[in-house]
Structure 1
Amino acid sequence: MSVFVSHTTIDCHDAYALSEWWRVALDYITDPDDPNEPGHEECPIQDPETGHTLLFIEVEDDPLPAKRIHLDVRPRERDQADEVAWLLGHGATEVADRRGKYGPGTGWVTLADPEGNQFCVLSSRAELAARR
């Protein structure tokens, strides 16, 4: 079992402006059912051919942190809690637990690999579907 990269996250001060800049530069698209707008704190853009997604997230850090780009991963078969436990057993360390940030069943856990590179573990697709 393993995780897969859901998207690449970029910390920034203005998620909308930066996502729009990269959207044009890369010829990516936004979700027509949930377009990015000024003031949005999270703005995803996507490659229309491959589905690769960049997610721009606003952070208050000033200056911005040195490690501004990280992977967000989603469990393939396990649920989020089991995946976090497995990754911790595999040598990851917990940085922050933000589960429930936006209500029950939401959020992520920030972990670091053995060299300190941070990544976030999201809910599995099955967990997302169960919330709908």
Structure 2
Amino acid sequence: MKESIEKLMRAYERAFDALDAQAQAALFGDSFIVAGPKGIVTHSKDEFVEFASKAGEFYRSIGKKSTKVLTMKEEPISHEYSRVEVHWGVTFEKTGDEPVEFDISYIVQDTGGEPKIIMFITHTDEQEKMEELGLL
């Protein structure tokens, strides 16, 4: 994995674990796309801070304990862009030490300076999975 991209994703792991919306937003492009099973949304960085803050409040309300990257793999798309596949593990008070696992694909732009996340694609319906586990 390219060192600059691993550094970006490890910083994102720390920010996501801490539910720090400002730190997360600093790792994204000025605008970006969020996609998942229910469709797509585009966000500006300012909109993302609001979105991530609300998501953080939600995760705290359902007892999130920790978030960790379990595996991560980079696949270059071109010289400037890569797809990074991340397999996450999140623990909650109700799940104990057993992580809830999910996959997200990130498109990272590395055109000089610091690389930025410009898109992410969730592979599962998060709400549906949380309902199945009794977290909601």
Q: Same fold (TM over 0.5)?
A: no
Q: Give the TM-score normalised by the residue count of structure 1.
A: 0.28
Q: Please state which structure has a larger fraction of its residues in strand.
A: 2
